[in-house]
Amino acid sequence: MVANTIIFKYRHGGMLESKFTRLMVRPLDKKIVLIGAGSTAFGTQMFSDLFLSETLPGSTIVLHDINREKLEIVHEVIEKENQIRDNPYSVEWTTDRQVALQDADFIISSIEIGNRMELWRLDREIPRKHGSKQILGECGGPGGALHAFRIIPHVVEIVQDVEKICPGAFFINLSNPLARVCLAIKRATKNLKFVGLCHQITFLNRHLPQMLDKKLEHLRFTVAGLNHFGFLLDLVDTSKDKDLMPEFSLKAMNYFTEHDDRFEFSTLTRELYRRLGYFPHPGDNHIGEYLQFGHEFTKDADMVEWIDLMDEVGHAAYINFKRSYKRLQKGKYLKRGMMLRIPSGERAIPIIESICADSSGYERSVNVPNDGLIDNLPQDLIVEVPGTVDKDGVHGQRIGKLPANIAALLRIEASIQDICVEAVLKRSKDLAIATLATDTNVDTFEMAEAIYREAMEVQEDYMPSFS
C-alpha cells in the first residue's frame, strides 16, 4: 500500500483488520472498485448483486467518490449490510482515486458531472430554444453531445489512471452517453480491457417470453447496432432449436399495439418496424434521439415526464440510503437489511463472476469495440452486440453485415460520435460545433453555433476548454 495515504476500513464492530490477515482467511482475493459510489447511482441493485454472489465473497470492495459526505453515508449502510451477512467482503472507502485503484482487479464506473438532472434539462432545453426538435437530449441529439463534452474528459482521466496504476484491471463503464464515452475510452487508452453496459435489453427480456409463451432462458436472440439504437435480427428457441422470427413477425405489431407504452414501445417503434422491417429494441424515447423525425412520433410532455421520472427514481434511491443511515445511527437498522433478495438484472456483477470463474458466460447485450464484428459500420467504433465472457474479458459476437437500410442510419450516428469524441480529445471548438451541426436534429451551422455559445456560457463550470 502507498505510504502516507489513508484508507478507512471498518470490520467486526469497527476494529481495523489488516490486508495481510484478510488474505490469509479469504477464499477469493479480488479488489472491486466502485467509482461514483457516493451518488447512490449504484443503488441497492449493484450492492444486492454483490451480496447474492457465491463467487465473489472474500473480495475487497472499495467505494470511491469525490463527495465525502455522501460517500460516508453509503459506506456505513453497506458496511452494516455486510455485517448482517457475516462480513463476506472487506468494505473500504476513499476519496483518493489513486489509492482506490491500487491493485484493483475490476473497476465499475458510474460517474456523472454536476447536478445530473439539472444539466439534463438544460441539454434538452438549450437546443430546442434555438430551433432543434430533439426529443430527449441524453445520449443522442445535440443534447447528447453536450452531455458527452462534459463527462468524457473525466472518464478519460480515470481510465488513464487505471492504465498507469492497475493496467491489468477490467473496466466496466455505466456512464452515459454510453457509446461516446466508450469510444473515448478506446481512443484514449492503449491496452485497457473494458465494456460498456446498458440495461435497455430488459424491455425485450420482459416482453418476448410473454409474447411467445416461452421461458426467457430458452430464448437466444441477437440484437445489434449502437447503444440505444439497435435492432432485433434473430430469435431462436434453444430448447427446440426452432427459428422464432416468423412467429415474432406474425405477432409483434398487434402485441406491441396492445401493450403500448409511451416510455417503451409505442408509435415510433411501430413506425420504424413497419418501414425498416426490423424491430428496434430500445424504446421510443431512446431511439428517437437519433432520428430527425423522432419528434413526429413522440410527445414533448412525455419526454419531460420521463426526465422527471428518472429524477424521482434517483432521488428515491438517495432518500432510501439516507433513511437507512438514520436508522443505523439510532440503532434501529432493519434486521434483514435493505438489499434485494433476488438478482437485479444488471450485468456488471455477473460479468465479473464469469471472468473470475472463467465460466464462458453469455451476455445478450454488451458495448465493445467493433474490430470486425459488424462489417458495414466503421471499425473504429463502439457497437452493441451479444457477447461471451471468459477469464480474458468480454468478447463481442460477430454479426457480419447489417441490413443495408439499418446500417445506413447507424453510419450517420457513427459519424457524429466520431467527431464528438475527437472534439473532446483534441479540445477543438471547431469540431465541437461541427458535432452539433452534423447532428440530424440541427438544421444549420448557425443553429449549432448558437447552441454551443449558450451551453458554454450556462454550463461553463462543467465544460472543457475548447479552443
pLDDT at residue 287, as a whole number? 97
Q: Which residue has the cell 482475493?
A: 29
Mean pLDDT, residues 124-151: 98
pLDDT, averaged across the chain = 93
Does the pLDDT of residue 22 top 80, yes or no? no
> Which pTM value belongs to this model?
0.93
For the chain, domains (ranges, CATH) are: 8-113+155-196+315-338 (3.40.50.720), 114-145+197-298+346-467 (3.90.110.10)
Mean pLDDT, residues 339-344: 92
Does the pLDDT of residue 229 top 60, yes or no? yes
pLDDT at residue 14, as a whole number? 37
C-alpha to C-alpha distance for 300 and 134, rounded to whole angstroms: 10
Does the pLDDT of residue 1 top 70, yes or no? no
Predicted confidence (pLDDT) per residue in 254-272, tens digit: 999 999 999 999 999 999 9
Share of the chain above pLDDT 90, in %: 90
Does the pLDDT of residue 279 top 80, yes or no? yes
pLDDT at residue 27, as a whole number? 56
Q: Which residues are catalytic?
A: 199
Mean pLDDT, residues 339-358: 95
Q: If pLDDT is split at 50, 70 and 90, which confidence band does 171 have?
A: very high
C-alpha to C-alpha distance for 75 and 157, rounded to whole angstroms: 24
Type of residue found at 10: Y
pLDDT at residue 18, as a whole number? 34
Bridge-based pairing of strands 106-109 and 170-173 is parallel
Predicted confidence (pLDDT) per residue in 188-198, tens digit: 999 999 999 99
pLDDT at residue 42, as a whole number? 73
Lowest mean pLDDT among 17-31, 174-188, 288-302: 17-31
pLDDT at residue 44, as a whole number? 82
Does the pLDDT of residue 19 top 60, yes or no? no
